[in-house]
Amino acid sequence: MNHFGAIDIGTNAGRLLIGYAIPEGDHISIKKVSLTRVPLRLGEDVYSKSQLSEAKIAQLCNSLIAFKHLMAVYNVRDYRAVATSAMREAKNGQQVCDILFEQTGIKLEIIDGQEEANYLFSTFSTQNIDQNKDYLFIDVGGGSTELTIVKKGTRVESKSFRIGALRTLKQKQDVSVWEEVEEWVDNYCRNGKTYIGIGTGGNINRILKFNKKKHLEPLTYDEIRSTIDYISEFSTNERITRLRLKPDRADVIIPAGKIYLRVMEICRAEKIIVPKIGVSDGIIYSLYNRHFVK
């Protein structure tokens, strides 16, 4: 197999996806070989100090070295490493990337919200989703939320907003940004059509699991709200010990869930489907196209 690697350094966590892409009928399918997740919490530094501390840089460096060894074990043919919201906002973001390249040999690229949305949408055709309907991609991360409108399989518009689970948790959320979301939705969504939400991100996947539903099985607005209300009844420690949530998931799942709900309210989406796609899958797909699609 031609294995490819995708490193995604987000606000809350860093991930390495190792996978491959194969043709299945009339579309390409992304197959996961290994997924490694590290709770970096870069946003904690960025939201309090506006830059990454030496301790976070060291943690990030060690994570990339570990990812590099894993890619060697799996004989990865090619990879791409990207950083998103937290690194975009860190004053020393590019300086950190230079340090990491010098110490690990891995070139970490800071991508903007548009490119992040591009990766998410690129794998739309790899999913068993009705291409004739209208959808709103809702990707909630630790520091930003990417919204993408898709009509009959064609992307119409996308935008990144500074709304995120960790950002909200740390009370670094500018409430006026919701006005931007509403204005954007007014311009592109409110045309009398009903949109189905497509939710991506670790938190909506965990909410899906709470509801004992499979990927692509619709979650309703009320189901998401009920799940958030239920989890809210427990303390953060109880969410870890009793609900079996990861420590870096236990505190952000509530603000993340509320962001999904708020976006669904604004665009009047009554349900949301959760496919197995993310930025990392989009990177794997792009690497496959680079090497095998002429």
Strand partners, 290: none
Report pLDDT for 73.
Answer: 97
Report pLDDT for 292.
Answer: 85
Which architecture, in CATH terms, is 129-273? 2-Layer Sandwich (3.30)
Q: What is the rounded CA–CA span in Å between residue 22 and residue 1?
A: 10
Q: What is the rounded CA–CA span in Å between residue 217 and residue 273?
A: 6
Longest dimension (CA), the chain: 54
Q: Give the DSSP letter string of 93-154.
A: HHHHHHHHHHHHS--EEE--HHHHHHHHHHTGGGS---TTSEEEEEEE-SS-EEEEEEETTE
Q: What is the rounded CA–CA span in Å between residue 217 and residue 182?
A: 27
Q: What is the rounded CA–CA span in Å between residue 26 and residue 272?
A: 25
Q: What is the rounded CA–CA span in Å between residue 205 and residue 189?
A: 25
Q: What is the rounded CA–CA span in Å between residue 37 and residue 40?
A: 9
DSSP tag of 293? -
Q: Where are the domains of the chain?
A: 4-113+279-292, 129-273
Report pLDDT for 105.
Answer: 97
Edge-to-edge strands, sheet with 154-161: 154-161, 145-151, 134-140, 196-200, 271-273, 219-220
Cβ atoms 140, 259 nearer than 8 A: yes
Q: What is the rounded CA–CA span in Å between residue 124 and residue 122?
A: 6
The residue type at 211: N
Cβ atoms 99, 230 nearer than 8 A: no
pTM of the predicted model as reported, rounded to 2 decimal places: 0.92
Strand 271-273 versus strand 219-220 pairing type: antiparallel
Q: What is the rounded CA–CA span in Å between residue 162 and residue 16?
A: 24
Q: What is the pLDDT along the chain (294 residues), one digit of tens a residue?
A: 789 999 999 999 999 999 998 887 777 888 999 999 999 999 999 999 999 999 999 999 999 999 999 999 999 999 999 999 999 999 999 999 999 999 999 999 999 988 998 998 888 877 888 888 889 999 999 999 999 988 888 888 999 999 999 999 999 888 899 999 999 988 887 666 778 899 999 999 999 999 999 998 999 999 999 999 999 999 999 999 999 999 999 999 999 999 999 999 998 888 999 998 889 999 999 999 899 886
Question: In 3D, which of 97, 99, 121 has the Cα closest to residue 109?
Answer: 97
Q: Which CATH fold topology does 4-113+279-292 show?
A: Nucleotidyltransferase; domain 5 (3.30.420)
